[in-house]
Amino acid sequence: MDYKKTNRKIFDAHSHIGKFGIQPMKGNNVEPFKGREIINAEEQKAYMEKMGITNAVVMPHYVPDQKVPFEKYNPIVLDVVSKLDNVYGALWVSPLPENTERTKQVLDSLPISKIKALKMSADSWPKGIGQNPETWDDQFKINMDFIIESAKKYDLVLHIHTGSNDSDFKTQIYPFIKYAGKEVKQQIVHMGSSAGGIFAFVPRFIELLKESYNLYCDTSFTRSFGPNWLIKELEEKYPKGLERVMFGSDNPWGLFPSEYWKIEAIDCSNEIKQKIFYDNASNLYEK
């Protein structure tokens, strides 16, 4: 079945702009996204039309060189959102001390029309420094506090990457959510990512929603059973939380049709699916 024939409105709450290119990874020089990366408004528009995407949030593709997302890809995000009415942006920030001035420049430029989020990832930081406040030194904490306070001040969403090691949900992200507090909006990306991460994420996500933390998650780059389990748990234990789950492709890390069917195949109502595919992200990003 062609997913385009389902006629769903789709709001992709997580996709990337800019080149990952060739990077040294695991002892190899790799180029995993050759021919699939988006670098300007024309390519973003064509991609959305091809995939049937109604709206999107785009953010810089981050690479080992810390200067690149700040100096090359944040400007592309700004250009794309200025040219495409149906696209919103997230800007790259980093609390690393060497990025103090770069992050300050981003935060001092706010508010910016159609910039709706700030993106950061502990996977881009040196090993041993995570989202857990216990891993921060004084300058790092000052920078992180500036990011959090700016998100509150300008009503922006913090995009928080989850994965392994310094992005582990249980040991890193959960303490950060508690530290950031209930006022700031946070989009927990990838739902923990791995099987173990999902096991840690789903019960705590529901717990935190019940405690009135202002959390959302997207379904990109996570094991297929994760969104299915989360939806079933929310239906049973906290139906209001079904308004906090959003579709994301994580393009080019995710293949759009695969990410789409991960949600479309869930045995739940069309009303719930349409919340995930479009309504929840529209309510968060278009107000």
What's the pLDDT at 4? 64
- Span 18-48, pLDDT tens digits: 999 898 888 899 899 999 999 999 999 999 9
Please report, for residues 23, 24, 34, 155, 195, the alpha-carbon distance to residue 30 in angstroms, rounded to integers and kept in the order given.
Answer: 5, 6, 10, 38, 25
Average pLDDT over residues 161-190: 95
Amino acid at residue number 11: F
Does 1 score more than 80 pLDDT?
Answer: no
- Give 221's pLDDT tier (boundaries 50, 70, 90): very high
Distance CA 36, CA 278 (A): 24
Distance CA 47, CA 51 (A): 6
Give the burial class of 35: count Cβ atoms within 10 A of its Cβ; 0-12 exposed, 13-18 middle, 19 or more buried: exposed
Average pLDDT over residues 95-104: 97
Does 183 score more than 60 pLDDT?
Answer: yes
- Give 150's pLDDT tier (boundaries 50, 70, 90): very high
Please say whether the beta carbons of 128 and 163 come within 8 A.
Answer: no
Average pLDDT over residues 89-113: 97
Percent of the chain with pLDDT over 70: 98
Task: Kindly state the tokens that stand for 98.
Answer: 């060497």
Does 75 score more than 70 pLDDT?
Answer: yes
Distance CA 9, CA 195 (A): 29
- Give 86's pLDDT tier (boundaries 50, 70, 90): very high
What's the pLDDT at 28? 93
Amino acid at residue number 192: G
Can you give the pTM of this predicted structure?
0.95
Average pLDDT over residues 270-287: 96
Does 149 score more than 80 pLDDT?
Answer: yes
- Give 5's pLDDT tier (boundaries 50, 70, 90): low
Buried/exposed 104-136: b ≥16 CB within 10 Å, e otherwise: eebbeeeebebbbbbbbbbebbeeebbbbeebb
- Give 3's pLDDT tier (boundaries 50, 70, 90): low
Beta-carbon contacts of 1 under 8 Å, excluding residues fewer than 6 positions away, are none
Beta-carbon contacts of 195 under 8 Å, excluding residues fewer than 6 positions away, are 223, 225
What's the pLDDT at 132? 96
CB atoms within 10 A of CB 228: 17
Please report, for residues 128, 162, 167, 189, the alpha-carbon distance to residue 217 in angstroms, rounded to integers and kept in the order given.
Answer: 25, 10, 15, 6
Does 272 score more than 70 pLDDT?
Answer: yes
Average pLDDT over residues 194-212: 97
